[in-house]
Amino acid sequence: MASATDQNNARIHDPSSYIIENQPYYVPVGDEITLFEAAYASYLPVLLKGPTGCGKTRFMEYMAWKLQRPMITVSCHDDLTTSDLVGRYLVKGGETVWVDGPLTRAVRSGGICYLDEIVEARKDTMVVIHPLADDRRIMPIEKLGQLLEAPESFCLAISYNPGYQSVLKELKQSTRQRFVAIEFDYPKAELERQIVMHETGLDAATTDKLLKLAEMTRNLKGNGLEEGASTRLLVHAGKLISKGVEPRPACQGAIALALTDDGDMISAINELIGALF
């Protein structure tokens, strides 16, 4: 959501102090905002559950703005080490210098730390968040010999997509039971229409076709597709269409090919697209 004045230069922010200025566009789908605020007020960490592209990240941005706290996001992956989160020594000009990791920075600045796709991280890495996520709200930094106590405004949130994870990648009970869970799903048709129209500027008729297509791919979930088209994919397709791309190629590129690599499945989705547009 870069404004036109940025032109070609990225704006630089320090995530531990940057507070989102403009209200992010977020349409509530249930009571998630109340739940989150209550959890935040009670110093409880939050777990966002839901399929990809259903608005979890957007929700976090919105909450960060609403609570006026800086937010630090970490996308988890299987090489993520404890040091990547907590911090490490670097060598500069013959001296060792300690550098905080994102989690530490969020704790120090009393911001929101959002660990995206938490199950992708190795289990032994994940345990560092345990003392932060229970009522102690502390973070030991062994290498510095420090014990950080999180300020009241600090908030830990993690996200997790239970759908396509394998047994190997399930969230540990000792981790999940520390969090207040908020369940997300694709918004109901009426809200989704509103979101897609807002994000893409498309007319109602074309948006309705996109929604229908989404519904069709969601019917295919479990019948050859791992997941149906998310709200995000509809937004992508819609953006292409409003830039003047023909609907069929726009949906093929933004939806069919994004959903799967299976040849027959791509053909079938393309046939659905062709039937609608």
Ligand X SMILES: Nc1ncnc2c1ncn2[C@@H]1O[C@H](COP(=O)(O)OP(=O)(O)OP(=O)(O)O)[C@@H](O)[C@H]1O
Cα 69 off chain centre by:
17
**3-state SS class at 98:** strand
Among 15, 18, 35, 57, indicate the residue that binds ligand X (CB under 6 A).
Answer: 57
Please give the size of the binding site for ligand X, defined by CB under 6 A. Answer: 20
E strand or H helix that includes residue 107: helix 102-109
Rounded Cα distance between 2 and 13, Å, is 13
Please give the size of the binding site for another protein, defined by CB under 8 A. Answer: 38
| 163 vs 222 by CB, closer to ligand X | 163
Q: What are phi and psi of 95, to 5 degrees?
A: -115, 150
Rounded Cα distance between 24 and 55, Å, is 12
The contact pattern for Mg ion, residues 26-65, with x = CB under 5 A and - = no contact, is -------------------------------x--------
Q: Sort strands 71-75 and 180-183 into parallel, antiparallel or unpaired.
A: unpaired
**80 counts as binding ligand X under rule CB under 6 A:** no
**Partner whose footprint covers residue 232, from ligand X, Mg ion, another protein, none (CB < 5 to 8 Å by kind):** ligand X
Q: Assign residue 126 a region: left if phi > 0, alpha if psi is -120 to 50, beta otherwise?
A: alpha
| 40 vs 62 by CB, closer to ligand X | 62
**92 counts as binding another protein under rule CB under 8 A:** no
Contact 129, 172 (CB under 8 A): no
Rounded Cα distance between 80 and 94, Å, is 27
Range 231-268 burial, b when 16+ CB lie within 10 A, else e: bbbbbbbbbbbeeeeebeebbbebbbebbbeeeebeeb
Contact 254, 240 (CB under 8 A): yes
The contact pattern for another protein, residues 119-148, with x = CB under 8 A and - = no contact, is ---x--------------------x-----
**49 counts as binding ligand X under rule CB under 6 A:** no
| 231 vs 252 by CB, closer to Mg ion | 231
Residue with tokens 């993690």: 158
Near another protein in 205-234, by CB under 8 A: 215-217, 219-220, 222-224
Q: How far is the CB of 61 from Mg ion (least distance, A)?
A: 10
Q: How far is the CB of 73 from ligand X (least distance, A)?
A: 10
Rounded Cα distance between 163 and 107, Å, is 30
Residue with tokens 């069709």: 216
**232 counts as binding ligand X under rule CB under 6 A:** yes
Among 56, 69, 137, 209, indicate the residue that binds ligand X (CB under 6 A).
Answer: 56
Q: Sort strands 155-160 and 46-49 into parallel, antiparallel or unpaired.
A: parallel
| 159 vs 252 by CB, closer to ligand X | 159
**Partner whose footprint covers residue 105, from Mg ion, ligand X, another protein, none (CB < 5 to 8 Å by kind):** none
Residues facing residue 114 across a β-bridge: 73, 157
List contacts with ligand X (CB under 6 A).
25-27, 29, 50, 52-58, 116, 161, 187, 195, 199, 231-232, 235
List contacts with another protein (CB under 8 A).
81-83, 88-91, 94, 96, 122, 143, 166-168, 188-190, 215-217, 219-220, 222-224, 248, 264-265, 267-269, 271-277
